[in-house]
Each structure stands twice: as structure tokens, then as C-alpha cells.
Structure 1
């Protein structure tokens, strides 16, 4: 039973007991009522007696999870609100990184959370995508306006400020490489992600490759967090900056006076972190109390408890919105980007900020995941006869796959090793696969060219049926043969069908062997991408589960490039996603 269910049950029991007691003492209560009213009348306080607030017998227990950057002022404001005479709540404010809360909610383990305050609305989109990829229902959250904000700036050490004297800094300088920049991992830092979007907006029309090149450069040795970027900044050459929020600069100076930072504001504009109030909408308690006909059945107490919870959350939210001074003391602007600050290292007046776009940021993260991770990938591509089938675009399945794969390989960083196999039945004698390019670093330009040439040749290699199971097992063994414990070792398999090799191993045999191979700790996740409506999604899912991989489906031709990018960008967490 969830904590809410237990509270509702206790409340219902208490109220039933109270009704019985009230019936027994009705007469006494009546006498007391008349006596009390008479005493109030005699004392001249009858109006006060009538308007008295009901006593709070059972405070509503609220759990609010706030990003670690903003948890301290949220906790203080919540405590003050709980102490008010007109409040009837007891609020537990939990400080947790937004990435961790998103993962918790996506996994279905956040049922006790009443509200969430992340450091960006994009976490709502990322959480929903993670929940879907795990096959779980997406938690129902209501997005309300931000309680605070903080613009993204360039942080520089005060000791090295002379290097920027008389100089105007811009996102264009970061794109071109003229401004040495430290960027914390945008998977965990919303300041970094907003900075990347600001950079993307500064890219000249027709020069999209400049943004990808900048990401590759920034990803090389990227610090895990902003505080790590600040630490690196102290020992970096003069003229180097780190991307951070204004609030992070202010709080660093407050907490560490030994290495003060200075916020420098981009001349071509910037974006801001937003801290929205997200209310979790849970109607499950009411649903449990509806009979088969849809009529309420003894749910009055539960409905009252939910309504009381909603009222307390509304009041707490308003208290957070109204206390801009408390947030300003922690280095935050108000929810609309305004307000004044009195903090070392930042300007007093608010700077103009643009609005971030969640969809654009999700796309940026996909690309970042592709270009940044050090990994070894064996790409295994279906060249069976069915890949000849045309799609609604007029192109064949193999043409679409070749275009998407070539585009993706072109984006991969030099830290990635890639090999390519083609497979169908009896490619070489009874063998269902053919090694077309070994797993070698793309840093070797001749190898990158070879991989792209192999991909371009795939349409001419079509033929045979789909030898899925034998090929999958052989691919995993091939990657394990030169396993590198310092990187992600994986198989990326693209297919449009189901296993058609009657002379090969069965699915059960494959799953058993894959499980046995993984017992030594050398995990090789298999990430499968199904193309078109004829793929065996059930087998793909089982193979993915057995190896700690994932299974994706590109039902429509236009989905292939996005799905392929997603599959590669999530390889960083395999096999522990």
C-alpha cells in the first residue's frame, strides 16, 4: 500500500470513529454549543467566535523534491509556510539532482512525491522519454510557471580577469574556438545544455557542421559537473571560461572565497535556467474507490483528503512564487528573469534572456551522446532480400538505412571505434555474416573513409534471408574477443525482419548462450533497431534484455535517423540503463 493509501485509510477510520462519538455526545455538544455561544456573547466576542479557523488535527504530509541548487531556499520557505496559523501541512523538502529525480519518476518509483522543482522544464520531456523506453506509464505532471531563474554566463577567475579587459565575449567565439571553454557534461548540467542551445542559435545559416565540430571539441575531457569545471578553471591558461549559471557563480563565491569567479555576460544574448513547479497528479486513490459502474463508492473521505492536499500544494506554490527576496539571497532571479542581486561576481540588474526550447534541447542531447562518448561499436546490418522493399518515400529500405548510417558515422567523434558487418543467410558458405570493416578508431581518417565506403556499398550486397540469431551471437563474441574495460563495448544491429535461418540456433539457445557469456562481467549490450513493420520486436526485446541493451522500432521511414541517433546516444549508460 502506498503512503497516500495508508494516510487515506487512517483518515477514513478516524472520521468513522468520530461520527460514532459525535452521535453519543450530541446532546452534550448541543449544551456546550449554547453555553459557548452564550459565553462569547456575554464577553462581547461573538463575531470572533463565529469566524475562528478550525483546528488542524491532521496536517497534510507533503513531499517536494527540489534540485540541489534551489533546495535550500525552498526548504526554508516551506518551513515558514508550515508554521503559519492558516496552514495545515508538514512538508518534507528533499534535495536531489534533477537527473536522479527524472530517473526515479521514469522507473515508476516516485509515487510518494507530491511536487518536483527541477532546474529546467526539459527534464519533464526527458523523464517521459525514459519512462516510455522502459515500457512504463509516464507520470502525470502539471507544469506550472517557474519559481526562480538564472541566466547562463561565462565564468572566469577574478585573478585572470585582465585577459578579458576591453573584450566582448559571444557564443560565436565558443563556436569558432577563439574562446577556450570548459563545458560540464550537458547530460547532467542544465547550464551546459542551455549554453549549447545558445551556441546552436548563433550558428550561421548553412554551417550546421560548425556546431557539431564545437561539440566534439567541448566534449574532449568535459568535466562531469560545473563545480569540477570551476576547479579546472583555476589551473587553466588565462583567457579560459567555463559555462555556468549566474547563480552558480554567486554561490561559488559565497562558499569558496579562496578562488572567486566573475560572471561575464554573452554579447549575443543568453538563455536562463528555469525552475518550474511540477505537481504530480495522482487520481489513483479515487479510481480505486469507483465500482464497475463508475459510481463513487465510499470515496468521500479520500476525495476530501486529495482536495485538502491540492489546497496545501497551491498555497505552498504561491508562497514560493511570492518570496523572491529569499531566492535573491541565494543568487536567483525571479521566475520571469527579473529582480536585483547583491552578490559578489555578478551584476546587480537583470540581463535580458531568451526562452529555451525543450524539443531543441532533446535533439542537442541526442547529438551530444553520439559525438562525445568513447566506445567500441560493431555495426551489424541486415542485407537480406527484403531490404529491397520500397518505402512511402520512394526509396528502398536499404537506401534509407545507408543514408541514416552514413550521416550518423559522420557525426561520431574520434574517440569511437567502429566496425561493420553485413548479414543474411549463407553469406560465406554456411556463415550468415560477413566482416566488411574491422573495429578500429575513427580517429584514423583512412578507417573513417573505409567505413563510409562500406556503408555506401550495402545496396549492392543484397540477397538471402535473415540469419538473425547466429549473427547476433557471433557479433557479441567478436566484440568480447578484444574487450576494452575502459570503454563501452557494444553491438548495434539493424534489421527489417525476423530470423529465417532454419539450420541455425534457436532463440532459446541464443538467449541461454548470451546469458552465459555475460557471467564473467564482460558486458556487451546489443542495441537493436527494427526497420519497418515486419520486424520481430518480441525477439529483439528479449535479446536486448539478455545483454543489457535496448530495442528500438522505426515503423516509419522518416523515423530511422532519429531512432538510430537515440540508440547510439544512450549507449553511455549500457548495460545499466
Structure 2
């Protein structure tokens, strides 16, 4: 049975497979912010300290609200008052940390946890059970705010879609990659592709994947393992995944890139992005648009509209979890802080960020910003049983859109520089090996090396080491280990040639991407025209080949790599701190 938007609801626990895979991977690149409530000297009677850990998307506001709460010195039952400190941690990383006594975070152990979704409380429950310890999160928890999952489209495209009446997940995201917008009478809009977070890394990405399966079986609850084995269900999900432009570890990055393209007057190859509703509001308000320090927010030229599939959607419920580590006085403080957060003035602060309130109600301003919801309100899916989620994630790895990936590896002499007791090249090779292990066996992968002119490198300062073809991880890894490092960095000519190589071998059924790994900037005088390179790799929405860059070490010119990536609608990853190289590779591979 589907839950309505008028009452609290509960998410069921995750599976052991998610515990072993999703949490570990998500923990590899977590955003950590230690933000203490700076209230000056607390009153002498405020002897209770409450540590709160929040998911990152709402942490900045919670820091401000904690400061407001602490400064008010609200009296607690039994006397005294509390000072609240807030730190921030990715929800998946926090679940993992709570299951291992909070080791390795560098943050104060919390007595209250505020993840993005109760999905994570169920996951922590599983982790605790697997470790043979008493579950820390056995209960249902109240929400402080809510945000449904939506399909966000540029307004002109959303208007055309809505003219058809209520449409489902398959109607919206399963538009034929070949016919695309032609079936809606807009052939000039070309192919239909959309952006989606990788479900192994993102709450919204996982929720979108589960929603797709529910739409395939035309139910809002009780998904079974036999449903997943149904060939018709497999075909439905595969048809939707085939239209992904590329995956992401964070929808905010997709939106920032979209805003930059919009304000520059360009076009994106994505017709939609699946994400939380509050991000649509922030985008439309210009909060995700590029701007100089001190400058006002610039609203996009074309706003996004939240489209709600007819079968229903998921709600991300932002639960308030009091952990067993809280003593009696801290529990009293937590209850009072919850009352404070769900009171009118604080709820208004959340709604200004685009959240629905703790009772699922959307403000008029939110609906004006993102678009009206269906008559009768939203319908929410109930989550599947844990073992079904396990099977779903295992199956997704075979159903997701496959990739054509050409890796261009910098073998210039500067890669011999020391990083601790190893060279840059050794560090890069090790990280590349870990990243390659995360690719799908059905991907097609090639390897080039590049430095500067050499008789052995023809027709230019780059050389094909492994031809683009069926993924052979051992062969690629072995070839990387045998590469010789010397010469300069012929960055521009290599990126141009690699991009053209993939354009000529473009496969509309795959994500087509060039991956550039470099520790420097262009040192090749024969090709030193950045403007021409940016024009050459500019995104063609009909044949999108995207460039992804990883900048090694501090000698890398990350700004230029970022320009190259953005010109093609790709992304640059900053690994100029050697400690972030593994993290950058995980993020990179998660795009495919």
C-alpha cells in the first residue's frame, strides 16, 4: 500500500550487501565539516552539551539554528539548559562510522544523528546486527523536514510533457534514445537523456532506482525477488538506464554545471535530472549558479520544473535520531531541540531552502518555484524488503548504461617527482588500478600514454597502448606498470586527438568519455591554443563525447582542466592533494 503525504512513514532496513558495498564506497569520498555552534561563553546553568551530526545538505542551516538554540538557553525539564554543537558527515559515512564506534571521523561522537533518509537508519540497524551488537536505530523516527524525489526538467520541456497528462517513470525517462523528443512533436530537441546519481553512492540515486523497479511492476509496495527476475521488468529498467547521459556522485554538481551552461547561453545534452525537490528550488533561486564573492545570486534563464511520475515517488524524510549514547540529560536536551526545530520559525528557515515541513506540507513559495503537485497530493512508495534491495543493486550493475572509455595517461618526466616514498606515477598507477576494478566487465576501455614528441609516438606525442575494445583489466594494468616516464606534457593535442578518436567511434548505446590523468599543464609549443581546444571538444548534443580530468599533484593547472571538462559537459576532479587520488578515481568511475 502506498503511503500518502499526510503522515509519518517508515523506511525498512537495507541489506547486508548494501552494508558491505554501498557504505564502504560512499565512505571513500565523504564531505566532512566540523562546525561548532559559536555562542560565546554559555550560561553557567547550561551544563548539558549535545553533539549533533547532520547530513551535509542541511548542515549549514543547522549550525545557525543550533547557535540560535544555544543562545536562547531554553530551560530543560528538571532545570538547566543545553548547548548544541553540530558537525556534518555524509549519511552513508556516518552510518558506517556509527557501526564502528565512530572511529576515523575526527568528529565528536554524536548523541543525535540527522541523516538524509531513514534508509540509513535501517542500514545502520543491519550493520549492528551483523556485528552482533544491540541495534542503535531500532525504531521509527520523527522527521524534521521532508523532500520528495522528482524528475526536474527545463520549463519548456516540462510544459510539453505535462500537456500529455499524467505520465509514469517509463514514459518520462524511457523516451526512446533514437526517437527522443520526436515522439513529443519536438524533433529539433534531439535525443532524450537524463542525469542520475549512482545508486551505490547517493540516497537519491538509490531511491530513483527503486522507483524505477516499482514503476516496472506497476505497484507502490511489496516488490519481490521474483519481480526482479521477470524479463519484462529487466527490459523496462534497462530501457530507462539506456537514456542516462552520465552518472554522478552528487546531483548538486550536475546542477552547478547546468546553471553555468544556462547563464552562458549554451545547451546541455540532458533533458532531465532525477533529484530531491529542494535542489530544484535552490537552482531556480540562483543559489547553485556561479557568482563572484559578494555578488547576488543569479537566477537561471530557464528554470527547472519538478515533474511527478503518476505511479508515485520516494520521500527523503530527514529523521531525528536520538542514539543510545545519549544520557538522560542529553535525551531531555534532544527532545527539546527537536521541539525547537519543528517549531514555526525554524521550519520557515527550512522551507526557505526548499524543504517541505516536518508534516510533509509544501509552502506556496516552494510550489511557485518548482511547479504544482498532482491533484490530491503526492503518493509515496514503500521500500522493498532488505534482500530485495540487495538483489536490486547486484542486478543494477549489469543493467546500468555501459561505457566507451578512452584513458589518456600522462607519462611526462614530472611524473617521476616524489610523493612520500613513491613517485607521482606510481601513486597514479595504483589509484588507476583501484578505479579500473570498479568498471563494468561489459564496458569498452582503451589506454593511451602521452608526453612529448618521440620517434616511437606517431602520429603525435601520444601512443595507443591498448586499443579501445572489450575491457581487459589485467592487460591495461600490466601496460600501465610497464610505461616509461620522460619528456614534457602535450596536453592539448592529446585531448583533442582522444576526443576525435571517440567521436569517430561514437556508440549511441553507451556513455562515451575521455579520461585524462595528468600532473601538469600543457608544455607542447606545437599546440598551445586553449581556445581552439575548447571549441574542438565542445559538446555536440547529438554525439556527446565528454572529457573527464583528474589533476594530480599541485603542479597541475586545475583551472584549465576544469575548463576543458566543462566545455564537453564532463567534469574535472581535484586530486592535487595526493591523499585524495583514490577518492577522485572512485568519483570518476562512478560517472560511468
Alignment TM-score, normalising by the size of structure 1: 0.48
* Bigger Cα Rg: 1
Higher RCO, 1 or 2 (CA under 8 Å, sep at least 6)? Answer: 2
Which is richer in helix?
1
TM-score, normalised to structure 2's length? 0.47
